[in-house]
Structure 1
Amino acid sequence: MTIKSEFSKKIIHWYNIHGRKTLPWQIKKTPYTIWVSEIMLQQTQIIRVLPFFNRFINKFPNIITLAKSELNTVLHVWSGLGYYTRAHNLYKTAKIIVNKYYAVFPADFSILITLPGIGRSTAGAILSLALEKSHPILDSNVKRILTRYHIIDGCPKKNKIEKKLWIIIDEVTPHNNISKFNQGLMDLGEMICTIKNPKCPICPLNTTCQANLNNIVHKYPNKQTQKTTFKKNLWLLILQYKNTVWIEQCLSGKIWKGLFCFPQFKTQNNLNHWLIHHNLNPKQYTILPLLQHTLSNYHIYITPIIFTLNKILHLTTENKKNTGLWFDLIQPQTIGFPQPMLKLLQQINYLK
């Protein structure tokens, strides 16, 4: 038995005994369900993904229902999971597959990697887990295992190191039992070879893992140089008339594009000027408790201000594209909100 085949056999054997086999996308395994789960699992832990996955599949049981839905509906179902570019890419890809490939999920790797949001590892996961096609994967769990197993210096996110890891994983990926091998690697990284406090004594690779043999597991993988953190102050104006509040769709920006939010202001003075311009008294609003929201290396400090109206205002958004609406708190429309908005909407309902 070669070292390479020994590696894969150990992973498969461990998976047969300890691996996860009852996740919802494993029970009903199709390229569509595997694809949705893989996109959701990017930068998000399984325990958080589970309720969102079930809700998503209940609403969009197949790629046709997803492609024929409205983007606002997709973002509504995604609301709270974060990293909304993923939802936009799911929607774009669903439309491409339905219109260009007659709603049949492509089984060709070279086609898959051309679709929005699907890179080499995601394509490999879809083909291997759903169709038993032999393709390697290289998510964060697999990178961590390989850097420890081979003592590979350098940050795994760097192109040079990532290329090296792709060569290694490509060499040890078997042709048979590929779904067990790939799922086993992901499970091992999630359950045993964890970022903190790895369980090396019960790891199936502990007798050949170089970091374990040299007692330096804690040093790998090497950490990336810490990103500069940015602070952003944001003032949100909650205009409430009876059981409705005014919201506007974000048409640009990387963070909340396509989602609905209360009118945003960079300073309290800007907000006050807006109120005066609309013949509203700035002294009549109530400041709600500060909200803190973290997105990657951004720390957003949100000051919500609620202003109760005695008559409805006929408003337009700054972009004049009619993307604002009076949102009904009792019979809410099906639209997407960022996490801070969901918290504020719950708070407003509580204050009523």
Structure 2
Amino acid sequence: MIPEFANKVLIWFDQHGRKDLPWQQHPTPYRVWVSEIMLQQTQVATVIPYYGRFMQRFPDVLTLADAPQDDVLKLWEGLGYYSRARNLHKTAQRVRDEYACVFPTDRADMETLSGIGRSTAAAILSLSHGQAHAILDGNVKRVLARYHAVAGWSGEPRTLKQLWEHAEHHLPTQRNADYTQAMMDMGATLCTRSKPLCLLCPLQDGCKAFQQGKPQDYPGKRPKKDLPEKTALALLLRNNDGELLLQHRPPTGIWGGLWSFPEFADETAMADWLAQHFAQTCIVAARLPTLTHTFSHYRLHLQPLQVDLDAHPARIMEGNGWLWYKADTHFTGGLSAAVRQFFQNIE
């Protein structure tokens, strides 16, 4: 017996749900896992081309685990939130080494893998194995918050606890994979953040937010928080071949594992570094427009300074986390947003 809520959702899904997404074809745990990680904080339309390229290069977990991290980050370039890519690589290696390339089928075990929380683990096992697990991604939170008129920001522990209780309560024991996909689809196509299509929703009769006439009041908005503003200098050191010096960033933190311009707190620090590494005159050739990047916990204003070497560097600094890079040349590593934005601006 399927509960009334779930039954309405499934009937709608059979008629209107999305069934042709690339990760729905042959939904193995590996394929579903990659899609779920990519879809975190990223829309389906953006993910689809990235997913296709990723699957072509890494068709299975072993290929991904054995690949250099630079290859993984290169294919992630432009998708943002690069910790997801690093976690994918790390998890692939754990699945290779600890599970003989077979993903665990227990949710608790799945949650121990990097980048996989309760909802993502549930989605992977539901969509690939049909296991009966409730999920609570952003789309599902919105559907349930409106249906039950759950006030408050969904990231607040008390509100989140209520939403999990509702998610578990409505969970069917049959057709769980379809139900999971249906709930995500409803949030993405009907119960949208702005201008929800309530009159087309199969749940409107029982939806408290619809009855109140104010569905857009749910879920509550995240409390506003002023982001700290930070400034830094980006050194665009150019040699006589027109190449720019790039630094391989540490594996964690902003743009972790990507190649970026060396950054300095101020011009004095930059000048000291140049004097230490280059025994020749370095001329500040141009001050370029500031690049602004907003991260989750601060906003960075990056002032690019182009500095030209007045003699050939003879490959000074090449290797050991440094390289000379020229636009449009073949490069397997991932480039930071600052580097990509710079080259886009000069095209």
What letter corresponds to residue 222 of structure 1 in structure 2? G
Alignment of 1:161-310 (within 5 A): 161-241=159-239, 242-251=241-250, 254-277=253-276, 278-279=278-279, 281=281, 283-309=283-309, 310=311
Q: Distance in 1 between matches of 2:115 and 2:77?
A: 18
**1:146–1:165 Cα contact (<8 Å) kept:** yes
What letter corresponds to residue 270 of structure 2 in structure 1? L
Q: Distance in 1 between matches of 2:91 and 2:274?
A: 42
**1:243–1:330 Cα contact (<8 Å) kept:** no
Instruction: Give the Å deviation of 1:103.
Output: 0.7
* Structure 2 match to 1:311: 312
Q: Distance in 2 between matches of 1:283 and 1:115?
A: 49
Instruction: Give the Å deviation of 1:173.
Output: 0.8
Q: Distance in 1 between matches of 2:189 and 2:255?
A: 32
Q: CA deviation digits over 1:210-262, x for unaligned, max 9?
A: 01011121211111211231212121111222153211111165211211111
- Identical-residue share of aligned pairs (%): 38
Q: 2:343 aligns with which of 336, 345, 349?
A: 345
Q: Distance in 2 between matches of 1:151 and 1:79?
A: 39
Greater alpha carbon shift after TM alignment, 295-304 vs 75-84: 295-304
* Structure 1 match to 2:24: 26
**1:227–1:297 Cα contact (<8 Å) kept:** no
Q: Distance in 2 between matches of 1:156 and 1:260?
A: 35
Instruction: Give the Å deviation of 1:22.
Output: 1.0
Quick one: structure 1 residues 256 and 284, their matched pair in 2 at CA, closer, same or farther if it must change by over 3 Å? closer
Q: CA deviation digits over 1:71-92, x for unaligned, max 9?
A: 1111111111111111111111
**1:148–1:209 Cα contact (<8 Å) kept:** yes
Instruction: Give the Å deviation of 1:280.
Output: 5.1
**2:284–2:306 Cα contact (<8 Å) kept:** no
Instruction: Give the Å deviation of 1:13.
Output: 0.9
- Runs of 5+ unmatched residues, structure 2: none
Q: Distance in 2 between matches of 1:202 and 1:80?
A: 35
- Runs of 5+ unmatched residues, structure 1: none
Q: Distance in 2 between matches of 1:266 and 1:12?
A: 56
Aligned length: 344
1:160 aligns with 2:158: yes
Alignment of 1:97-136 (within 5 A): 97-136=95-134
**2:150–2:162 Cα contact (<8 Å) kept:** no
Q: CA deviation digits over 1:269-304, x for unaligned, max 9?
A: 433443455355565412222222222242222222
Q: Distance in 2 between matches of 1:287 and 1:208?
A: 60
Q: Distance in 1 between matches of 2:345 and 2:216?
A: 43
Instruction: Give the Å deviation of 1:133.
Output: 1.1
Greater alpha carbon shift after TM alignment, 217-226 vs 59-68: 217-226
> How high is the TM-score relative to the length of structure 1?
0.91
> How high is the TM-score relative to the length of structure 2?
0.93
Q: Distance in 2 between matches of 1:110 and 1:249?
A: 35
What CA RMSD, in Å, does the superposition of the two structures yield over aligned residues? 2.1
Instruction: Give the Å deviation of 1:314.
Output: 5.4
Q: Distance in 1 between matches of 2:188 and 2:164?
A: 20
Q: 1:68 aligns with which of 52, 66, 69?
A: 66
Greater alpha carbon shift after TM alignment, 60-69 vs 285-294: 285-294
Q: CA deviation digits over 1:72-119, x for unaligned, max 9?
A: 111111111111111111111101111111111222212101111111
